Amino acid sequence: MKKELKNIPLSVLDLAVILEGFGPSEAFKNSLSLAQKAEQLGYNRFWLAEHHNMDSIASSATAVLIGHVAGGTSTIRVGSGGIMLPNHAPLMVAEQFGTLESLYPGRIDLGLGRAPGTDQQTARALQRDDEAAYKFPQTVRELQNYLSDDNRHSAVRAIPGEGLDIPIWILGSSTDSAHLAASFGLPYAFASHFAPQQLHQALKIYRDSFKPSKYLQEPFVIACVNVIAADTTEEAELISTSMKKIFMGILTRQRHPLQAPDPKFVLPREFEEALKPFLAYSFIGDADEVGSRLDQFVEDTQIDELMVVSHIYDHQARLKSYELLKGLQ
């Protein structure tokens, strides 16, 4: 079957974005509201991403927030996109996600990343181990072991967690993660919403090198992209100024909560070229325009599932964007 937007699952990536003029509490309410809307519309997953020391992101205590969202929904899969494993002891991750899976059986995903999800100074405050990222393959194996039924006779056990069927995903924004996911025989999710440059190379490596495992017999890929859909392209372009300011703030290291759309905002010329790589897989427009471009993206990448993040200030406009996107199926 030819892969098109209409015949692959759609999922949501959320960062519990903090809006200018509001705080984390409002962000958490909006995250739950979005998850409930996504469930109603038939989205497949709702993942939350771990970041730290960022003015616009409140999803730092990711496992706690996953529990909040899972408790407020009933069918949609909820998980991490991802847990930055170098920041955590594998045993604690196994216990946390074992607890989540025990509370919400058959609905929890555990996506793992190698990056710290923050700046170097904050990473040191979190990890206290400069070598943590280099030990990622070993810590993934350690985590798998704690979750396995075979670990029941060991001196150190994850209770809850042991013996539970919690799907583990490898997340990445480079080719290193593709090699790891392939060699471990695990599903792979690529962060093309902010690091699109190596997407095609990473997918080729993953598919060409994939080794079947007890977890997965054939390669399975999710790609994440930015989508801002509205009734008109003009409206979508206006809404997208909030997202563009976020990306510009990353470059200038002047980060702020997500700001309201600005009809007077023009991306400064010196940032246009610098931001092109970040925005390569940002789909902005009315439903027809977004759908046409996403169909081409799915055809070009042959992904198995599409995950979408939408940095939209107005909550109702964000819900509308996801509704328009799902309507394309």
What is the predicted pLDDT for the residue at 118? 56
Superfamily of domain 5-327: Luciferase-like domain (3.20.20.30)
Average pLDDT over residues 40-50: 97
Where do the H-state alpha helices sit in 148-232? 175-184, 199-209
Average pLDDT over residues 262-286: 87
Q: How far is it, in rounded angstroms, from Cα 273 to Cα 269?
A: 8
Strand partners for 57: 17
Residue 109's H or E segment, with its range, is strand 108-113
What is the predicted pLDDT for the residue at 192? 94
Query: Strand, helix or coil at 107?
Result: coil
Q: Give the range with max mean pLDDT: 17-21, 172-176, 247-251.
A: 17-21
What is the residue-averaged pLDDT of the chain? 93
**Angle of the 90-103 helix axis to the 62-71 helix axis, nearest 10:** 10
pLDDT at 2 over 80: no
Greater pLDDT, 164 or 55: 164
Residue type, 162: E
pLDDT band at 202 (very low <50, low <70, confident <90, very high): very high
Listed range (126-135, 188-197, 241-250, 273-282) with the worst mean pLDDT: 126-135
Q: How far is it, in rounded angstroms, from Cα 68 to Cα 189?
A: 23
Average pLDDT over residues 50-79: 95
Residues in contact with 224: Cβ distance below 8 Å, sequence separation at least 6, in sequence order = 13, 81, 189, 190, 191, 192, 193, 306, 307, 308, 309
* Of 189, 140, 203, 129, residue with least CA distance to 9: 189
State what percent of residues in the chain have pLDDT above 90.
Answer: 80
What is the predicted pLDDT for the residue at 65? 98
Average pLDDT over residues 268-291: 89
pLDDT band at 72 (very low <50, low <70, confident <90, very high): very high
What is the predicted pLDDT for the residue at 3? 85
What is the predicted pLDDT for the residue at 255? 79
Assigned token pair, 199: 């997407």
**pTM of the complete model:** 0.94
CA gyration radius, the chain:
19
What is the predicted pLDDT for the residue at 126? 61
Domain-by-domain residue ranges, the chain?
Answer: 5-327
What 134-139 contacts at long range (C-beta under 8 Å, 24+ apart), as own/partner pairs, is 135/86, 136/85, 136/86, 136/180, 137/180, 137/184, 139/85, 139/86, 139/90
pLDDT band at 215 (very low <50, low <70, confident <90, very high): very high
Q: How far is it, in rounded angstroms, from Cα 179 to Cα 42?
A: 32
pLDDT band at 309 (very low <50, low <70, confident <90, very high): very high
What is the predicted pLDDT for the residue at 304? 98
Greater pLDDT, 274 or 246: 246
- Note the pLDDT tens digit of each residue in 144-170: 999 999 999 999 999 999 999 899 999
What is the predicted pLDDT for the residue at 62? 97
What is the predicted pLDDT for the residue at 179? 97
- Note the pLDDT tens digit of each residue in 98-123: 999 999 999 999 999 987 555 666 66
Separation in Å, CA 136 to CA 60, 141, 203:
20, 9, 20
CB 308 within 8 A of CB 325: yes
pLDDT band at 125 (very low <50, low <70, confident <90, very high): low
Assigned token pair, 28: 């958490």
* Of 49, 323, 94, 93, residue with least CA distance to 193: 49
Average pLDDT over residues 82-109: 96
What is the predicted pLDDT for the residue at 119? 63
